[in-house]
Amino acid sequence: MTAPLRGAITALVTPFKSDGSVDEAALAALVDWQIAEGIHGLVPVGSTGEAVTLSLPERERVVRVVAEAAKGRVPVIAGAGSNDTAAAIEASKLLGKAGATHLLHVSPMYNKPPQRGIVAHFTAVADASPLPVVLYNVPGRTGSNMTAETTLKLAEHANICAVKEASGNTGQIDAILRGRPEGFGVLSGDDGLTLAVMAAGGDGVISVISNAVPKLCAQLTDALAKSDLATASLIHHRLAPLVDAAFIESNPIPIKAGLAMMGKVKNVLRLPLVAMDAKHEARMSAALRIAGVTL
């Protein structure tokens, strides 16, 4: 059985060169630094990784670079989602051969299936997937919510191991925590709710801000796993300005700007995303400094 997913897991940005091509050297260096800083897992080619503007061969290559750099030290949870079930299955099979340990699948966006359609989609994907599947509920991007009832129904599938819950609905997350079967992981999909979700019994977070502060995010989840709420609260408040700054514009615009300030990546995104408005730079740099980053 695959080990449970726990702790701080970084939703990795995809570094690009000035010409817009994937910067494999910067990506490998970012992975190595993340692991050295104590991060518990990595999610390449998700929303933060601008997967929707990467071709499937590019996604496969990014996952392969991340897996090769990780060298088995942490789980690699590749974003394989699509609102086309057949395409999601195709991506699962390809990325499953690229070195990932798990696959992250978002609830179908745009076509907005009813709950029974969401169940049918994930069941078909999980049946065909070569790796354990992590569900991803993010209504702000998909246009529809995956209910707690639907998540718990899918949690019974032998090849579905966890959910990344980014609905922001703590009542819904609590319902999943109360009803989940043994071994089914619940990960916060919102940095600002890591403390609340883990204090209620959740297992960790798939984080945006850990791109820039992996050590502090890992320390936060480690403290929560030990029920050390005093330490966790101190870290939570220290990270709060960065959580706010990281979402002042659409993710991953601000966190990529922050990483560029740190010299980790170039501040290059693929259209329709554009670089962060210059008026937010002071806020981002101040938030990074509060979190202990030297610029």
Binding residue ranges for pyruvate: 48, 206
Residues in the chain: 295
Angle of helix 115-128 relative to helix 85-96, nearest 10 degrees? 30
Residues forming the annotated binding site?
Answer: 48, 206
Alpha-carbon gap, residue 234 to 232, rounded angstroms = 5
DSSP H helices, 46-193, are: 56-70, 85-96, 115-128, 139-142, 148-154, 170-179
43 within 8 A of 10, measured Cβ to Cβ = yes
Residue 123, CA atoms < 13 Å, CB-side half-sphere: 11
Catalytic residues: 136, 164
Those residues whose C-beta lies under 8 Å from the C-beta of residue 37, and which sit 6 or more positions away, are: 214, 215, 218
For residues 104 and 46, is the Cβ–Cβ distance under 8 A? yes
Cα–Cα dist 26/173, whole Å: 35
First to last CA, the chain: 43
